[in-house]
Structure 1
């Protein structure tokens, strides 16, 4: 499953914009393919290079997948990086065929539980937009 057309990409972009509007501590959100291409992005003024973040998130997801396989820890679903000035989160959106990644940049003051709840809701809405139900 992938984003099939510009309408779906626009709907996903709008949902990312809603995520940023609802969570003031989220600076940017990018939807990327597993092979590192940007699908949709919403960000506050010049927060990130979405194309670069998409490529790096793909690499992180691959590395995380290798690490959990090596340690027999199941499947890599989320990656959380704590930086001195904020957090970077990468979430796998499993879809039939080829999944997507949701990459989120937050401030250092972000309440992780609140962010996780909002991101999971956003992921569910994206799955519904793409016609995938039940997670």
Structure 2
């Protein structure tokens, strides 16, 4: 019977050791669960912050796109206005060039007429009585 009691005592010790081991393992698992829950909460917080940052960046990108479109439209209007002004100035310059060409032609004709008139005046003056020959 003592042997049975010794065997029972050993079995009880093994059960106690197993229970203590299970308790230690349980505490380890609880600590790990707590650590994982904390990590999960941190990741959720980080995800929320990143979602907010992404939302803000998306809004800024949309605002920049809108501003860029406005600047492009303004630039296109300015370019169109400048092209119109260049065409108008070119037409004005062409008109002035035609007037200059016509004026130069008139000047050339008038110069030739003036030279002819001067020659005729000299001929007439030479034929007048008392003219020096």
Q: What range is the shorter-chain TM-score in? A: under 0.3
Could you say which structure has the larger radius of gyration? 2
Q: Which has the higher contact order (CA 8 A, sep 6+)?
A: 1
TM-score (norm 1): 0.19
Q: Indicate the structure with greater strand content.
A: 1
